[in-house]
Amino acid sequence: NAGVTQTPKFQVLKTGQSMTLQCAQDMNHEYMSWYRQDPGMGLRLIHYSVGAGITDQGEVPNGYNVSRSTTEDFPLRLLSAAPSQTSVYFCASWRGEGTEAFFGQGTRLTVV
C-alpha cells in the first residue's frame, strides 16, 4: 500500500517557468489538500478538494491552480514560478471529516 505519493521529490525552476507537482493516493480518500511549508510558518493550505470535480481555495492560493478529475490524483500547477514559491510542498489525503490525514514525503521546490 503506497499511501500518498508525490513527484518529483526535488525540483529547481527558473522564474517564469511552469510545472506540475503530482500527488496520487491509493486509499480511495475523498479529501485531498496541498500545503506549503516554510520555516517558522508551519504548513499553510494552498488548495483542497472534497471529491472528484470539487476544489476550493485555501489560505495561500495565489499563483497555484488545481483540478481533481479522479479520486486518486490531485496535481498542483504553478503557472509562472516566482522565487516566493520556493518552499516544501506537501500533499495530504484523508477519508473524511475528523479522520487521520496521510501525507506524502514532500516536494522541495527552488525557484531561481
Partner 1 sequence: AQSVTQPDIHITVSEGASLELRCNYSYGATPYLFWYVQSPGQGLQLLLKYFSGDTLVQGIKGFEAEFKRSQSSFNLRKPSVHWSDAAEYFCAVEKTGRRALTFGSGTRLQVQP
Using rule CB under 8 A, residue 62 touches partner 1: no
When binding is defined by CB under 8 A, the residue of 24, 55, 104, 111 that contacts partner 1 is 104
Residue type for 18, please?
S
3-class DSSP assignment, residue 83:
helix
Which residue among 17, 44, 72, 86 contacts partner 1 (CB under 8 A)?
A: 44
Q: Are 103 and 2 in contact (CB under 8 A)?
A: no
Task: Choose the stretch contacting partner 1; rule: CB under 8 A; options: 11-19, 65-73, 78-86, 90-98.
Answer: 90-98
Contact in structure between 51 and 71 (CB atoms under 8 Å):
yes
Asked whether position 42 contacts partner 1 by CB under 8 A, the answer is yes
Query: Is residue 76 at the binding interface for partner 1, with CB under 8 A as the rule?
Result: no
